[in-house]
Amino acid sequence: MKILSIVGARPQFVKLAPIAHALAPGGHEHVIVHTGQHYDANMSDVFFEDLDIPAPNVHLGVGSGSHGVQTGAMLSAMDGVLDEHRPDWVLVYGDTNSTIAGALSAVKLHFPLAHLEAGLRSFNRRMPEEHNRVLTDHAADLCLAPTQTAIDHLIREGLGERAVLVGDVMTDVCLSVAAQVRDSAPLLPEGVDGSQDYLVSTIHRAENTDDPEQLRSIIDALAALPIPVVLLAHPRLVARAATAGIDLKRGALRPTAPLGYPQMVAAVLHSRGVVTDSGGLQKEAFLLGAPCTTLRTETEWTETVDLGWNVLRPQVDDLAAVVMRPRPAPSTASPYGDGRAAEATVATLMRHLR
């Protein structure tokens, strides 16, 4: 079987790792296409190195741009790549502009398309990720869903016959990396003592970073928290804060460059909790036993909220009380699978081979 994976943004490299590892033993051919959406070494290369992912076979080098420019550049570059490699499956991941560009390129050239992490919904039509995931699911021949909730969404949209529950590949990689780093001290920025309470925070979504007033109120609230906040600063946050004249280095805030995956897992494992607007990190916090506060009005990972490990807070007025809340009782539920979703994904792709 020949699979062509299209990735480009940081969370997709994490999801690619277990898929690349699960494809290797079966003698399958795996072509990796990197769109270049993320290009800084700490947003891209470190993931390939740390997670032992083979170097991309093709690099489109698209870089940043408005949604239309970025997506269009990927789409126009993909025709030649698909024509050359002629895969049995094009596999796209998650909900970024690289996902929708990859999906469109595959359906237009009639290559079978599988969408990994299908069926997630925020029902917030202002999020670019919501357009990307809905359109990709409706284009796909196979919707590989991480959770039963995702399957239910797909059924409701008339996609039940194409949907298969494979589990969540991020669980595979998160649990295996956690086992490797559990006993190592986290790499923390100056001014944070790993033996004392600290929080891990990431803020990068358009709805939180692009409006200077919203960004200012979030940064002010984080800076006023009673324990150090390790702020893993995405380039988008750094750029928007600089433009709006918002200082990220004050009060409780300890900004630092984005961490590699093992370092991020170690930092969360030893933390008092997480404050984020990331999708993936909400779930990683749950898997690693760190209470999460999500600075959004809704989440795609509703199980984390239902099980008491995640609290949604679009407004930050009472942030200190929320993030310092008592730890919930440990949960034995495993809504994100048992860490073997990549194997299930490969088996499903084989079973549905045309």
97 binding ligand UD1? (CB under 6 A): yes
Q: Which is nearer to ligand UD1, 40 or 52 (CB)?
A: 40
**According to CB under 6 A, which residues from 168 to 227 bind ligand UD1?**
204
293 binding ligand UD1? (CB under 6 A): no
The DSSP H or E segment spanning 270 is none
Give the total of residues touching ligand UD1 (CB under 6 A).
19
Task: Report in angstroms how near the CB of residue 43 gets to ligand UD1 at its nearest.
Answer: 4
CA 173 to mean position of chain CA atoms: 12
- Per-residue exposure over 208-223, b if at least 16 CB sit within 10 Å of its own CB, e if not: bbeeeebbebbbebbb
Q: Catalytic annotation on 138?
A: no
Contact 313, 295 (CB under 8 A): yes
284 binding ligand UD1? (CB under 6 A): no
10 binding ligand UD1? (CB under 6 A): yes
Place of tokens 């009472």: 318
62, with CB counted inside 10 A (0-12, 13-18, 19+), is buried
Task: Report in angstroms how near the CB of residue 97 gets to ligand UD1 at its nearest.
Answer: 4
Q: What does the angle CA 150 – CA 311 – CA 229 come to, to the nearest 5 degrees?
A: 120
In the sheet that 58-59 helps form, which strands lie side by side, from edge to edge?
Answer: 58-59, 29-34, 2-7, 89-93, 113-116, 142-145, 163-165
Task: Report in angstroms how near the CB of residue 127 gets to ligand UD1 at its nearest.
Answer: 8
CA distance 110 to 206: 33
* Per-residue DSSP letter, 193: -
Among the listed residues 225, 189, 200, the one whose alpha carbon sits nearest the alpha carbon of residue 294: 200
| 46 phi/psi in degrees, rounded to 5 | -60, -30
| 310 phi/psi in degrees, rounded to 5 | -140, 135
75 binding ligand UD1? (CB under 6 A): no
59 binding ligand UD1? (CB under 6 A): no
Which residue from 26, 55, 64, 124 is in contact with ligand UD1, where contact means CB under 6 A?
A: 64
Segment contacting ligand UD1 by CB under 6 A, of 14-22, 92-100, 225-233, 243-251: 92-100
Task: Report in angstroms how near the CB of residue 326 gets to ligand UD1 at its nearest.
Answer: 30
Task: Report in angstroms how near the CB of residue 325 gets to ligand UD1 at its nearest.
Answer: 26
Task: Report in angstroms how near the CB of residue 284 gets to ligand UD1 at its nearest.
Answer: 13
Which residue from 3, 6, 9, 31 is in contact with ligand UD1, where contact means CB under 6 A?
A: 9
Segment contacting ligand UD1 by CB under 6 A, of 34-42, 47-55, 153-161, 168-176: 34-42
User: What is the residue type of 221?
Assistant: A
* Per-residue DSSP letter, 232: E
Among the listed residues 249, 255, 235, 242, the one whose alpha carbon sits nearest the alpha carbon of residue 189: 255
Which residue from 5, 35, 96, 122 is in contact with ligand UD1, where contact means CB under 6 A?
A: 96
Active-site annotation holder among 38, 115, 204, 270:
204
260 binding ligand UD1? (CB under 6 A): no
For the annotated catalytic residues, the residue numbers are 204
Contact positions vs ligand UD1 (CB under 6 A): 9-11, 37-40, 43, 64, 95-97, 128-129, 204, 234-236, 239
